Amino acid sequence: MDKFRVALSSDFLKPDGTPAYPSFDLSPLEENPNIETAYIPAKTVIDASDIAGFDALILLSSRFERDSFSHDGRLCLIARFGVGYDTVDVEACSDHAVALVITPDGVRRPVAVSILTLMLALCGKLMQKDRLIRQGPEGWAQRSGHMGAGLVGKTLGSIGVGNIGAEMFRLAQAFDMDFIAHDPYVDPEVSKSLEVRMVGLPHLFRESDILAINCPLSEETHNMVSSDLLSLMKPTAYLINTARGPIVDQKALTEALIAGHIAGAGLDVFSEEPTAVDDPLIKLDNVIVTPHALCWTDQCFAGIGASDVKAVLEVMHGEEPAYIVNREILENAVWRRKLNANHSKFGPG
């Protein structure tokens, strides 16, 4: 009997071929006698010739575009290692009868914790105080000029109250802050239960003391955080972005930070990644920057990996996986035939 073939992009491996992320447990796949796993080149864009003959793909950082689909039509699942799917052509997935899944359960808590890490570091002026102590007595003498900002009664705002945004508010309840957000797609019951007041976008920028971006990158949100909106923020306010860099007009943000129109920013994502060494943004003292990896912990990668492995096993047994992005695939007759064939071949899970 043919095996269920699972491809993984080779950026899950170190150059010496050992696992780059040991907490990503592949044993449920590798120990299953009906499954064969293999690594394919992690090119900038996945090549169709490399994905030929595979039923599923677990994808890390490479792009998967319309030309990436093999003509054999065998692929039935792309499992993104994370929640962002702007690197995958979603429409093309549906056109080729392939389900695209993401892993919200794996990133919900780690990313929310990352946001709070940046909030606490910015408001406490952690980085500035770290630099002071490294200057010896001269630095110590300057500490009263770097007073932090308390959080009680301050306003935490969010663009988005989805998976991560809601978790951020849950964790922040201990700080006795006021919560506001903008999200045209919010579930009213969720915002009500979290005591989040929903407001318009300009109002959000005017009132927030700390404003976090918790929405996906799309045509609608590209460069959403513009110079006009940044100009509405308080000079004491902080902007935090752990979502996607292009949601923010980075040039406008840099100018606002240099001019002191806002107090600072915490950024884990950027308009271009990796950032250039001469990027003026990363030279600023009022910015904390991390390499799109602040949430990367053993627990985060274990959770993401477990979610992707579960999706692969469900599809192999002919079951619908959770967290499908292109929901229209559920009515796709060709995809249904693939699932049914899997069920007939490998049985129920």
Q: What is the dihedral of CA 328, 330, 332, 334, to 10 degrees?
A: 140
From residue 85, how far is each of 72, 81, 102, 139, 204 by CA, in Å? Answer: 24, 9, 8, 45, 26
d(CA 267, CA 273): 12
H helix or E strand, kind and range, residue 112? helix 104-123
d(CA 14, CA 230): 40
Q: Which of 292, 319, 331, 337 is catalytic?
A: 292
Q: Which of 273, 320, 331, 336 is catalytic?
A: 273
In single-letter form, the type of residue at position 129 comes to K
| β partners of residue 64 | 88
| β partners of residue 159 | 182, 213
Q: What is the dihedral of CA 119, 122, 124, 128, to 10 degrees?
A: 160
292 is catalytic: yes
3-class DSSP state of 240:
strand
Q: What is the DSSP string of 125-178?
A: THHHHHHHHTTTHHHHTTGGGS-----TT-EEEEE--SHHHHHHHHHHGGG--E
Polymer length in residues for the chain: 349
From residue 67, how far is each of 54, 58, 64, 89 by CA, in Å? Answer: 16, 18, 8, 10
Based on its alpha-carbon atoms, the radius of gyration of the chain, rounded to whole angstroms, reads: 22
Q: Which of 182, 244, 261, 314 is catalytic?
A: 244
Q: Edge-to-edge strands of the sheet including 178-182?
A: 196-198, 178-182, 155-159, 210-213, 238-241, 264-267, 287-289
**And the tokens for 304?**
């993401």
3-class DSSP state of 151:
coil
d(CA 184, CA 161): 9
Q: For the chain, how many helices (H) and strands (E)?
A: 13, 12
The catalytic residues are 244, 273, 292
